[in-house]
Structure 1
Amino acid sequence: MANQETILIADNSEIYCAILRGLFEGEYNLLEAENGEQALMMMRQYRESITVVLLDLFMPEKDGYEVLQEMRQENLIFHEPVIVITAEDSMDNRVKVLELGAMDIIAKPFEPDVVKSRVKNIIESGRYRRSLESGLHIRRIRMFTKILLEEVARNYQEYQLDAHKIRLITESSSMHDIGKFVKTIPN
């Protein structure tokens, strides 16, 4: 059974797509695009579920540079980390794709284990970042709830909010996100 992480493979080379598919099939959900326009369409459509994008630079319709530029303009680059996989491995090219927002660049032909490890590292880093964001979100919800309840207790005595009730409600306030938590539990 695949994880809930989804990898978008954007490459017009059937050979490299097959290699990448073989590396990740069964472990992750996979989407494939054979050109830059398709890749952008999928990124917009599956924005919430794509975990990492493996992007070739030289594709028809829109090349990888154009894809990175549009991702940046639409703030997709901050939601979907990109690893560029390309035969063009010059220093200028490396700098350019990193400046456009790619997280990493790997030269073709590549070592499959290196690609797999880099993808895994980016996915784990994303999980960690999301867990930190979630923890901070819960703390903020509790803090705002407590402030509001204390204000209600001060100004509206008819609600009979004492310290115990405020504490119970405050501690329960993060339960509104329980559905998000349940979705993270593997089957």
Structure 2
Amino acid sequence: MRNTMLIADDDIGYRDQLSELFKDKFDIATVGNGREAMAYLVDHHKEIAIILVDMHMPIIDGRALLKVLKLKGVIKRIPVIMMTTDRDEALVAESFENGATDMIYKPFVPQVIAARVNNLIALNRGRLQLEEMIRQQTVQIQEKNKELKAFNSKLIEIMSSIVEFRNLESNSHIKKIKGISRIVAETIMRRYPDDYDLRPEKIEAIESTAALHDIGMIAIPDSILLKPGKLTADEFEVIKSHTTLGCEILKQIEELQDKEYITTSYNICRHHHERYDGKGYPDHLEGEAIPVEAQIVALADAYDSLISDRTYRDAFDMSKAYGMIMSGAAGSFSEKMLDCFAQSRTMIENFCKKF
């Protein structure tokens, strides 16, 4: 516990007077100038409860000492009372600007300085206790956030497994969608930091919830979903409804998820089939009206679909797939999105070769 009063004054009479006044309340340490005060602080700063500093001392005066205490951050933890016989208002103002907690004029009335010291100690201890309580609560909140993120990840993993178990998506497709989405999102954050609200936390949410982009497919009847032949126009409309059906599923768990995750997953699920030219579905959004997370996952989904085998065709090689994305033959994407896709091409291809 901090229980030492450091008195810095070249006048031994004042040092003795203050020492006598506070000896029953504090352990007293006295020095005659600013240099000695700084030397004492180096070894005993954790023990000091309050510092009394005379404005005019030899070698290093009180003004210079106060500036050092401010620079070192000492005044954030320990109250400092300046003492002076000089009633210069500019000097007083300077002291408070440099972090002095109070100013006492010499000669002082013992009862007055005792009351002011006691009040400052009580206030500072209360402030430190409040800061410690806030620190502890912050740690608790951070731990709860970690637990919530872990729960979010587990919940998303379970839900994406449902899609996988119905043979609607392969495990490798889900992993590639997540990985490509992260690579593209990080490139966007670097190249267009002022155009999109992409932060590390947002990118983490995009990568994780990209696994749920087709969660609505579990609500599509098997007779349509697993139909071997060509779909009718009406059947294709049912397939398209997986975007809105997926959002209905996500609404059922929104109270269980972090707000960032639920908003991101909702936008991805509903809008990953929108096109930049406005010809997508379900809402026919155009341009930047499409949430950036949906644009990212749409690009990742299109690319992985091209490099994966389908029942009606073999996979395209990565070079061909890249060209189809860039030319607009496999979707409509913004110039910025295509720029970031091009910039991250090597990383994406190296990542996809793992599967």
Normalised by the length of structure 1, the TM-score is: 0.75
Deviation readout 1:105-157 (Å, 9 max, x if unpaired): 11110001111111111110111111111221221122121222233345569
Task: Give the aligned residue type for 2:64.
Answer: E
Q: How far apart are the structure 2 equivalents of 1:151 and 1:99? A: 44
Q: 2: CA distance between counterparts of 1:41 and 1:147? A: 43
> Which residue identity is paired with 1:105?
M
Counting strand residues as a fraction of each chain, which structure ranks higher? 1
- CA distance in structure 2 between the partners assigned to 1:6 and 1:110 by the alignment: 21
Contact 1:47 1:79 in 2 (8 A): no
Count of aligned residue pairs for this structure pair? 155
SS at match of 1:30: strand
- The 8 Å contact of residues 7 and 29 in structure 1, kept in 2 or not, is answered as yes
Q: Does 1:116 align with 2:114?
A: yes
Paired with 1:68 and 1:143, the residues of 2 have a C-alpha distance of: 36
Q: In 1, Cα distance between the equivalents of 2:40 and 2:77?
A: 13
Displacement, 1:5? 2.1
The within-5 A match list for 1:78-97 is: 78-97=76-95
Per-residue deviation at 1:101? 1.6
2:29 to 15, 28, 31: 31
Q: Aligned partners of 1:127 and 1:78: how far apart in 2? A: 12
Contact 1:7/1:28 (CA < 8 Å) preserved in 2? Answer: yes
Of residues 29, 48, 51 in structure 1, which corresponds to 2:49?
51
Q: Secondary structure at the match of 2:82?
A: strand
Which residue is 2:141 aligned to? Answer: 143
Q: How does 1:146-157 map to 2 (within 5 A)?
A: 146-153=144-151, 155=153
What is the 5 A alignment of 1:2-41?
A: 4-41=2-39
1:104 pairs with 91, 102, 105, which one? 102
Identity of aligned residues (%): 28
The aligned counterpart of 2:75 is 77
Aligned residue identity for 1:18: D
Q: Unpaired segments of 5 or more residues in structure 2? A: 156-355
- Counterpart of 2:149 in structure 1: which amino acid? E
Partner of 1:169: none
Structure 1 gaps, min length 5: 158-187
Which is further off, 111-120 or 139-148?
139-148
- Greater C-alpha radius of gyration: 2
- Asked whether the 8 Å contact 2:77–2:128 carries over to 1, the reply is no
**Cα separation, 2, equivalents of 1:93 and 1:4:** 29
Contact residue 83 and residue 102 of structure 1 kept, 8 A: yes
Q: Deviations over 1:41-78 (max 9, x none)?
A: 22232222212110001111101111112122222222
Let me know the Cα RMSD of the aligned residues: 1.9
Q: Distance in 1 between matches of 2:80 and 2:95?
A: 10
- Counterpart contact for 2:55–2:84, Cα < 8 Å: yes
Match of 1:65 in 2: 63
In the alignment, the residues of structure 2 paired with residue 126 and residue 49 of structure 1 have an alpha-carbon distance, to the nearest angstrom, of 14
